[in-house]
Structure 1
Amino acid sequence: MTDSKYFTTTKKGEIFELKTELNSDKKEKKREAVKKVIASMTVGKDVSALFPDVINCMQTDNVELKKLVYLYLMNYAKSQPDMAIMAVNTFVKDCEDPNPLIRALAVRTMGCIRVEKITEYLCEPLRKCMKDEDPYVRKTAAVCVAKLYDMNPQLVEEQGFVELLNDLLSDANPMVVANAVAALSEINEAKPLIEVNSQMVNKLLTALNECTEWGQVFILDALSGYTPRDEREAQNICERISPRLAHANAAVVLSTVKVLMKLIEMLPADSEFIASLTKKLAPPMVTLLSAEPEIQYVALRNINLIVQKRPDILKQEMKVFFVKYNDPIYVKMEKLDVMIRLAQQSNIAQVLSELKEYATEVDVDFVRKSVRAIGRCAIKVEQSAERCVATLLELIQTKVNYVVQEAVVVIKDIFRKYPNRYESIISTLCENLDTLDEPEARASMIWIIGEYAERIDNADELLESFVDGFHDENTQVQLQLLTSVVKLFLKRPTDTQQLVQRVLSLATQDSDNPDLRDRGYIYWRLLSADPAAAKQVVLAEKPLISEETDLLEPSLLDQLVCHIGSLASVYHKPPSSFVDNTKAPLRQLQPNAPLTTNGSSGDMDSAPGPGLFGVPAPSAGAVPSQDTLIADLLQLDMNPMGGAATAAAPAAPVAAHGGGLDDLLGLGGPSVPSYAAAPAAPMADPLAAWGSAPAAPAAPMGGGLNDLFGLGGGGASMGGVGGGAQGYQTPKALWLDAAKNKGLQLEGAVVRKNGAIFMEMAITNKAMQPLSDFAIQFNRNSFGLVPAQPLHIAAPVFPNQTTQVSLRLDTTGPVQKMEPLANVQIAMKNNVEVFYFATVVPMLVYFAEDGLMEKREFLELWKEIPEANEQQFTIMNNRGLTADDICAKLQANNVFTVARRSVDGQELLYHSIKYTNKIVVLSELKMEITGATTLTLSLKSRHVTALANLNEMYQQIFDN
């Protein structure tokens, strides 16, 4: 297949020629034709028309030809499910072939064909293969069970395949054991079915030494989830797996370290066994640092966790982490982090010597981090503080701009850690005042001047030089300047009164930054009302900063240590933040279109350009047609949903939120020119992207409608609507948890007020740094909900500060049906990272204020809508509401009463709802006049999809 001649067939009539060759009587010609078909499939050509001809080639004794046909079948079976059943008999026959390779190939292919119609035929051959005499067939069958579980979990449990997998753990062949462990681990992630016990552990440890390297990884990962019964068992497991530390494969080493790190916690801290085990752990991790840079990086990220948990393991290995001149920048940065974690009094001289040398390198980012590292060493190792300060002063003398600025920032931290010890260097810092042009460095220098104003003779002149350009400064600098000038005034009130008045005036009257104004007003009122209290507040003693600020939370660290060797340990995030916890079968994921900016049309043919948040977004033309082929080969179901939204191009899948949303920034999707893009025109049919599936018919409405509405019959009057009813207020929900999102906590709700939709948010910063540069973006959703304007937060959100934001939304964005219907997927970006979340917007948010219909219009529309589109629900009147109360509550939420009448002891209420996308819903509410607690709600609309969850919305309105 590597011959280029197979990949250069582009002539006309090629499909017809291949069809002829595939039906040839000559085996050689037939095999060559199948090779050409596979080659065309590989480069993205559509050769699905040849499906029946290729299937006919399955009946052969030639193993090579059979493999090629199976490969074709795996790719196109999903698009031709009815024809794929033709191959079932051949599969069953091949599963009993004398050749074990053929048997394994057949069961593997059946597992890869993700067609539900075939799964029922797979069970019996799979059961036989799991008990096959050949270990190669058994190990293949074990993996097939996991694939089958992904498609149909219930079938696997009912057919007893989990128990058969459990039996394979006792298999004599170690590879069968390893594959059984891998399959069980995959199944257990979705639903815990089997728990590792001591008997199973012995079987796994026996197979461990004879497995391939990846088999060992699977077994070690399974062992990491086992909790030994006692200290003796934990020690025994440690002894049996420790030889794996010498393995050549880095994954095996890291998996072994993970198990040992967990077991160490169960042993007495002062035991000799732990001391000897700790000595064994260091050499293999050091060895990993001599591998290629990519493995070094992964190893360093894991070592970073290990030294936070147990710094004594690598405390003697500092030199290994010294940076080499040819290390890639990402390795250099990680080594610096580990060096600081391992720094202590015994090795600080070596570390400072290295860091000083790094600060003269040419890579600016590396130099900056090196200078900061010197400051961190001063804070961490008190005995070295003086030497660190001297080193920083030497670096300041180099007059290199970015070095000086970083040095000023870290010296501020040193002053915080060691007050009244190193203030003699302030004069040297002041000499470099004019060279500071970065906000953080300027803010740090201003803090130093304000904090030590009584020791700096010309402090007022220095601060006044900053005040002259107050409005040109960054917000961070303005806030710090305001505080420092107030400090100066409190320390030297006689000669700085004009300066403080000028700054307070600039902050409160000439600034449009709410944070700056608020702080200015607070200072102004404090100084005016009670100068003594102002002194206590502004000049209060500050808590000393700690070197532990950059360490991970203990609970998060414990969690990450249990995932050493995985992506979680590289990202330093729990798996739940980027992996779907529900582990839903891939076939159930609903593919959604890539996210576009608010107002963009979402056209897949738009020109390529820079994506939102600086992520490049290629055009649709840049996506090769073989993407679907690759997805199929990986057993990913990426078929787009039917409907107008997917007519132009397949939508990219969006992972369920639990962690993270794939393609939410428009990766591989349309160009995102800017946040200010003009809104797209609304779709001609607001529900064209939703599809249409009629619901089961419901019982028709009782009573004569004409009479009821006063049309051609007895007159009916509108019931009075009680006043004072309040619309349903959606409580704020926690959208982003600070513990999982780098200190960003976001609480919010989507509400409707004054005829418009708003996203009310409370942004809380629980990180150690200010959060700024906020932006927001919505994925396509059922109602086209997008921001009506960019998210604008004027000032950074500082640590332990909460900012309230009200963002106006509209429904002019691209439409695509979501599940549930009101689900909206959102990306929020700040200066730290991009975060993803999803929320279900209350349906009443989309109820328009112009939804009241005339009686005749209501009646005509009710008759036009087929009965199949009517749905009935039971609603509980838990609060004993009267008909007037119900009408008032509904009216407050834009559900308008069209008519009401008493018929046969029942009160009948008719209402109309109009969504913002012009879809109309009609409702009938039946209630007993005697005040029964059960109400019957009938809903009807031309678009059945629009009725989704409306009954729940009614219930919430009544209960509120």
Structure 2
Amino acid sequence: MTDSKYFTTTKKGEIFELKAELNSDKKEKKKEAVKKVIASMTVGKDVSALFPDVVNCMQTDNLELKKLDEDPYVRKTAAVCVAKLHDINAQLVEDQGFLDLLKDLLSDSNPMVVPMLLHAISEIMDAPLMLAAGVRDDSGTIISFLAALNDVGSGIYSGIQSQLTPKDGEGGSRVFVRESAPRLGPMLNSRLWWLLLLSRVVMKLMEMLDTSGDYVSSLVKKLAPPLVTLLSAEPEIQYVALRNINLIVQKRSDILKNEMKVFFVKYNDPIYVKLEKLDIMIRLTSQSNIAQVLAELKEYATEVDVDFVRKSVRAIGRCAIKVEPAAERCVSTLLDLIQTKVNYVVQEAIVVIKDIFRKYPNKYESIIATLCENLDTLDEPEARASMIWIIGEYAERIDNADELLESFLEGFQDENTQVQLQLLTAIVKLFLKRPTDTQELVQQVLSLSTQDSDNPDLRDRGYIYWRLLSTDPAAAKEVVLAEKPLISEETDLIEPTLLDELICHISSLASVYHKPPNAFVEGRGGQRRVLPAKSQQEGTVEEMSAPTETTQQPPQPTTVIPGADSLIGDLLDIDLGPGPSMMQQQMYPQQPPVQTQASGGGGGMDIFGEGLDNLLGGGPSGGDMLGGLGDIFGMPQSQSYIPPQEVWLPAPKGKGMEITGTFARKNNQINMELTFTNKAMQPMTGFAIQFNKNSFGLMPAQVLNIRSPLPPNQSASTSLPLNTTGPIQKMEPLTLLQVAIKNNIDVFYLSTQVPLHVLFAEDGEMEKKIFLATWKDIPASNEVQYTINNDQHSADTVSQKLRNNNVFTIAKRNVEGQDMLYQSLKLTNGIWVLAELKIQPSNPTFVLSLKSRAVDVYEAVRQVYVNILHN
């Protein structure tokens, strides 16, 4: 009898009958029941309810049933089942030894089984694949896995291959590198849709192999043709491929060094493809191919697409900077383009020629006359600023430099800030080179920059120049005419640490955006970060302490600081939002600077005489007409203690962004003083800041105002006002503040400690009667004494120093030659602290006694006394 009978049954209750037969004691009935189940599955019937009963039939000596267990689909499905079972009952999986059984199957020869096994093990152990599998250098698991790669579906592979490349120290790395290199080569030629996925692995493999070995040269040769083939696809795919190729070329330009022609622009390419090709062309340009590249770029500069033409002209300048032997040829090409008299071509050419002058000083000055012929056509800020820079830099070689700069000065107030700053510097350069006939011109520009301008950057630079020229002309020459650092083509490259991260994400959105995943993906477990508490001495990670109760106290209610078991994740779900679209400029008061006595012995020489003095309506001639910087800007000199700035985020951890900072309290306002330094090779934009919950509810009172973009090797400072209206969470230590700062590169996390005195309120002076009653009311057990070194301060000096920081002396007594100061202070959250300070001139130490109902603040208050009295 044939097996066709199994496919014809349609009676009711069939599932129930099959369940009984599968659990029968008779082997023949079990065998028949399994056949019926398979037949039902074949015709599309739902027999999922029989799964546990079928599994129970697997332990058998029947040959027919054993064959049904032989299908690799069963083992593949079993791996998935174990992973799902682990989610439901992890203890059961561990007790039954299922994980060990999966590891035993890693040597399976079927290509469908091994990847799924590894994936299941990785999910169960929550570890990278190689580490999760527990493989060793002598294991055959890696070889088995690599053998299966060609038959793995793209969905499975893309899900696991990001963990595939082993890192230093992981088991199996040497076997992986040795075995995978020759196997990946054929795969690159077999399936184009694998290409970008495999490129990621190949790039990581190259870092682990000897660059002089045959493996690397073989991989390089086999990787280039498939990448080139992708450029024959439709434009959208071309764009994705080009963005990935851009990263590969920046990391290893030798891979495509012989494929320049495939990146030449076609007439029907969309603009986004054209621009990407252009960028890659520059990265591949070398002395061997510069001739054909320049010919292409010159042709592009005659097209009708204005944006593409501009980029092409700039590309010629980048070629000149990158390939020094071809610089003269590039300059000649630019001059040819200038002769076309096409406005936007001329302006872009002048911009890039300025960079060429920076790269090759005193080499191509002969073309300046040609550039000056086009002054009247310049209407774009960048081009005007570039031309002004050229005139100022070579003012001694241009006979009518003063007339040219004066022509720009006529509409000074209407110029872009970039042009104003450049014009100010250029005229000062001209004055230092030709002081006899340009004094009136420099007086005019300094007056326009300082008296008639509301731009703080322009005013700052103007006052700095004014002070330099007024007090020390020699120093002014050293500063203004100093030798400038040479520029290089590498400034357009992605910062190395970011590039390494993006290489690990080739074939993902990160490689298209050229941004790390956490810059545009939220809620990913893999991107979650934990902010460790920062130890005051060692900077080690500390666990958050348990809650400590605080109670209310007179004369005003005390804010209770709630405790917390952990702050992990508080900063992980924040929405920093975009940074300010443009810097909100803070205006300095427009008032003439106060005249003070000139600094330096022998009297400083006023190179301007009384003419410049009269411009400011200032004092006697020969004096320092700028006075103190604080007086210039109308800033009150603060007497409160401001700690020196510390490095809060070093550049290596900030991917090139270094942050230093401190805290200050001025005019009843808490401020976070920040300095951002860009040590990366790309501009930084989009700055924003947010705080974690903290003990005193500190939070920014306004958006973070930083000059944007912040160019490489530049710094910018800001004062960020803070308020205490944010969410409260008790920290350990109490003054710990956790901060998240965002820019266009990433979100960075840092921890610092807020000096407690910036939280001392101005209304913390207690009446004597209330002070006495409160001191008696607080239990004696709450009193703590500290010893502080005495830097030979008198009681009056100590009292004044502390009062400047809102620690108020309520009463003073002298007992047997020892001064006793009774003081009060109040935190912004309403907590009062009472103090008794014993000062004896002959004793090298102070004795400080503190009483409060919130004993948690004692250590921070003690540190305040130490800092204030020792500074």
What TM-score bracket applies, with the shorter chain setting the length?
A: 0.5 to 0.7
Q: Could you tell me which residue of structure 1 aligns to residue 383 of structure 2?
A: 441
Q: Is 2:227 the counterpart of 1:285?
A: yes
Query: Residues 537-592 of structure 1, C-alpha deviation per residue, up to 9 Å, x if partnerless?
Result: 54454444322232345555445444544555445456787889996898999xxx
Q: Choose the corresponding residue for 1:547, options 489, 496, 505.
A: 489
Q: Does the CA-based 8 Å contact 1:372-1:410 persist in structure 2?
A: yes
Distance 1:554 1:232 in 2: 28
Distance 1:147 1:854 in 2: 65
Distance 1:312 1:242 in 2: 17
Q: Does the CA-based 8 Å contact 1:178-1:216 persist in structure 2?
A: no
Displacement of 1:281: 1.0
Q: Does the CA-based 8 Å contact 1:761-1:805 persist in structure 2?
A: yes
Q: Could you tell me which residue of structure 2 aligns to residue 703 of structure 1?
A: none
Displacement of 1:758: 0.8
Q: Choose the corresponding residue for 1:215, options 133, 137, 156.
A: 156
Q: Is 2:605 the counterpart of 1:663?
A: no
Distance 1:890 1:193 in 2: 59
Q: Is 2:107 the counterpart of 1:197?
A: no
When the two chains are superposed, the root-mean-square deviation of aligned CA atoms in Å is 5.8
Percent identity over the alignment is: 56
Q: Could you tell me which residue of structure 1 aligns to residue 200 of structure 2?
A: 258
Distance 1:323 1:516 in 2: 42
Q: Choose the corresponding residue for 1:427, options 338, 361, 369.
A: 369
Q: Could you tell me which residue of structure 2 aligns to residue 756 of structure 1?
A: 669
Q: Is 2:179 the counterpart of 1:236?
A: yes
Q: Could you tell me which residue of structure 1 aligns to residue 356 of structure 2?
A: 414
Are residues 233 and 810 of structure 1, via their aligned partners in 2, closer, same or farther at CA, if it must alter by over 3 Å? Answer: closer
Structure 2 spans left out of the alignment, 5+ residues: 1-12, 14-39, 56-71, 532-566, 586-638, 812-820, 837-847
Distance 1:819 1:132 in 2: 54
Q: Could you tell me which residue of structure 2 aligns to residue 461 of structure 1?
A: 403
Q: Could you tell me which residue of structure 2 aligns to residue 842 of structure 1?
A: 754
Q: Could you tell me which residue of structure 2 aligns to residue 619 of structure 1?
A: none
Distance 2:460 2:356 in 1: 30
1:501-900 superposed matches below 5 A: 501-511=443-453, 516-517=458-459, 519-520=461-462, 523=465, 535=477, 538-554=480-496, 556-558=498-500, 560-566=502-508, 569-572=511-514, 663-665=575-577, 732-739=645-652, 743-766=656-679, 778=690, 785=698, 787-788=700-701, 800-811=713-724, 815=727, 823=737, 825=739, 837=749, 839=751, 842=754, 844=756, 845-851=758-764
Distance 2:237 2:85 in 1: 31
Q: Does the CA-based 8 Å contact 1:568-1:574 persist in structure 2?
A: yes
Distance 2:448 2:715 in 1: 24
Q: Choose the corresponding residue for 1:339, options 274, 281, 297.
A: 281
Structure 1 spans left out of the alignment, 5+ residues: 1-26, 28-61, 69-92, 101-130, 590-652, 677-725, 900-908, 926-934, 942-946
Q: Does the CA-based 8 Å contact 2:672-2:722 persist in structure 1?
A: yes
Displacement of 1:793: 6.4
Q: Choose the corresponding residue for 1:97, options 44, 47, 52.
A: 52
Query: Residues 800-856 of structure 1, C-alpha deviation per residue, up to 9 Å, x if partnerless?
Result: 444443333334x66586988975655566xx7786656566383444343567899
Distance 2:301 2:569 in 1: 43
Q: Choose the corresponding residue for 1:385, options 300, 310, 327.
A: 327
Displacement of 1:445: 0.3
Distance 2:217 2:299 in 1: 35
Displacement of 1:246: 3.2
Distance 2:517 2:722 in 1: 32
Q: Is 2:123 the counterpart of 1:183?
A: yes
Matched residue SS, 1:339: helix
Q: Is 2:828 the counterpart of 1:916?
A: yes
Are residues 474 and 654 of structure 1, via their aligned partners in 2, closer, same or farther at CA, if it must alter by over 3 Å? Answer: farther
Distance 1:163 1:861 in 2: 68
Are residues 156 and 174 of structure 1, via their aligned partners in 2, closer, same or farther at CA, if it must alter by over 3 Å? Answer: closer
Q: What is the TM-score normalised by the length of structure 2?
A: 0.63
Q: Does the CA-based 8 Å contact 1:234-1:267 persist in structure 2?
A: yes
Distance 1:441 1:257 in 2: 41
Q: Does the CA-based 8 Å contact 2:80-2:116 persist in structure 1?
A: yes
Displacement of 1:503: 2.7
Indicate the larger mover: 572-581 or 196-205.
Answer: 572-581
Matched residue SS, 2:665: strand
Query: Residues 385-442 of structure 1, C-alpha deviation per residue, up to 9 Å, x if partnerless?
Result: 3443343334434544443322211011122233444334323322332332333221
Are residues 328 and 815 of structure 1, via their aligned partners in 2, closer, same or farther at CA, if it must alter by over 3 Å? Answer: farther
Q: Could you tell me which residue of structure 1 aligns to residue 66 of structure 2?
A: none
- Counterpart code for 2:155: W
Q: Does the CA-based 8 Å contact 1:746-1:764 persist in structure 2?
A: yes
Q: Could you tell me which residue of structure 1 aligns to residue 634 of structure 2?
A: none
- Counterpart code for 2:189: A
- Counterpart code for 2:661: G
Displacement of 1:230: 9.4
Distance 1:478 1:489 in 2: 17
Matched residue SS, 2:204: helix
Are residues 225 and 353 of structure 1, via their aligned partners in 2, closer, same or farther at CA, if it must alter by over 3 Å? Answer: same
Displacement of 1:374: 1.4
Q: Does the CA-based 8 Å contact 1:895-1:911 persist in structure 2?
A: yes
Q: Does the CA-based 8 Å contact 1:204-1:219 persist in structure 2?
A: no
Distance 1:247 1:662 in 2: 45
Q: Does the CA-based 8 Å contact 1:573-1:740 persist in structure 2?
A: no
- Counterpart code for 2:117: V
- Counterpart code for 1:97: P
Are residues 451 and 920 of structure 1, via their aligned partners in 2, closer, same or farther at CA, if it must alter by over 3 Å? Answer: closer
Distance 1:546 1:180 in 2: 49
Distance 1:583 1:302 in 2: 25
Q: Is 2:291 the counterpart of 1:349?
A: yes
Distance 1:654 1:360 in 2: 58
- Counterpart code for 1:425: I
- Counterpart code for 1:225: P
Distance 1:587 1:341 in 2: 35
Distance 1:193 1:876 in 2: 55
- Counterpart code for 2:679: K
Are residues 478 and 164 of structure 1, via their aligned partners in 2, closer, same or farther at CA, if it must alter by over 3 Å? Answer: farther
- Counterpart code for 2:394: Y
Q: What is the TM-score normalised by the length of structure 1?
A: 0.58
Larger Rg belongs to: 2
Q: Choose the corresponding residue for 1:404, options 334, 346, 358.
A: 346
